[in-house]
Amino acid sequence: MGESTNQEHGRSAVDQLPLSGEPLPLELVNTTYIKGGVRGHLVDALAGPADLDAWLGAHGAQFSPALAEALESAAAARPEHVEAYLELRGALRHLAAARTGGRVPEPAHLAVVNAAAGLAAQWQELAPGTSFAAVPRWLEADPLRVALGEVAAAAVALFSGARAERLRACAAPGCILYFVKSHARREWCTAGCGNRVRVARHSRRARGD
C-alpha cells in the first residue's frame, strides 16, 4: 500500500479529509486515512508546514478563543512543529487503538501525550488600563506549541471521560479512522464506509446464492 500526499484539483490535503466534526484529538489522528478502500493508498494530510498551518486554521473554532486569535497572527509553521504534531498524532493513534481494544496503553505513548498537555498551561492576568479585563497568559510562548498542548489536553479529557465509552475505530475494511459514536445507529465513520460495507455484504450474498 503506497503513501500519497498529492493535492487534487488545487485543493490541499486538509481540504480533502473524509471525516470532520470529531473531537480535536481525533481530528489530528484522522489526518492519515486510506483513500479508495481496501485497495486504496495511504494519505497523509500533514506532509509539511503549509499543511499544518491549513489544519490549524481549519480547526480554529475547536481551540480556546484566545489561542485561536493568537494563531491567526502567529508565524508560519516550521518543520520542527510538524515533527511534534506527527509525534503526538502517532501517540494518539496508539492510545485510541488501546482504548477501543481494551488494551493497556504503552507508557511511551502516554508520556508523549502527557508532556504535550503541559504546553497548554495558562493563567489569567489583569490587563493594563481601566477595564480590569482578565487576559490569558501561557507558560509556552509559541502559539503553535500551545495548540499542540490543547490537542493533548483534549485527548486526556476524551480518553478519561464519559465520551471514551463511545469512541470507535471504524470497522469498515480498509478504513483507519476513529470517531465518537454520535447516535445509537451510527456504525461507521462516514456514510461512504457504510455504503462500501453494504455493497460488499450484498456481493457476498449474491455469490452465495
pLDDT of 154: 98
pTM for the full predicted model: 0.89
pLDDT tens figures, 10-60 = 567 899 999 999 999 999 999 999 987 777 899 999 999 999 999 999 999
Residue closest to 120 by CA, chosen among 103, 100, 136, 101 = 136
How far is CA 28 from each of CA 132, 133, 152, rounded to the nearest angstrom?
37, 33, 10
DSSP labels, 8-69: BTTB-TGGG-S--SS-HHHHHHTTEEEETGGG-EEEES-SSHHHHHHHHHHTGGGS-HHHHH
How far is CA 36 from each of CA 18, 42, 80, 173, rounded to the nearest angstrom?
11, 9, 31, 11
Confidence of residue 5 (pLDDT cuts 50, 70, 90): very low
As a whole-number percent, the residues of the chain with pLDDT over 90 amount to: 75
Q: Which domains does the chain have, with CATH numbers?
A: 3-105+157-208 (1.10.3300.10)
Cα–Cα distance measured from residue 101 to residue 122, given in angstroms and rounded to the nearest whole number: 34
Cα–Cα distance measured from residue 24 to residue 150, given in angstroms and rounded to the nearest whole number: 9
pLDDT of residue 3 exceeding 50, the answer is: no
pLDDT of residue 208 exceeding 70, the answer is: no
pLDDT tens figures, 48-101 = 999 999 999 999 999 999 999 999 999 999 999 999 999 999 999 999 999 999
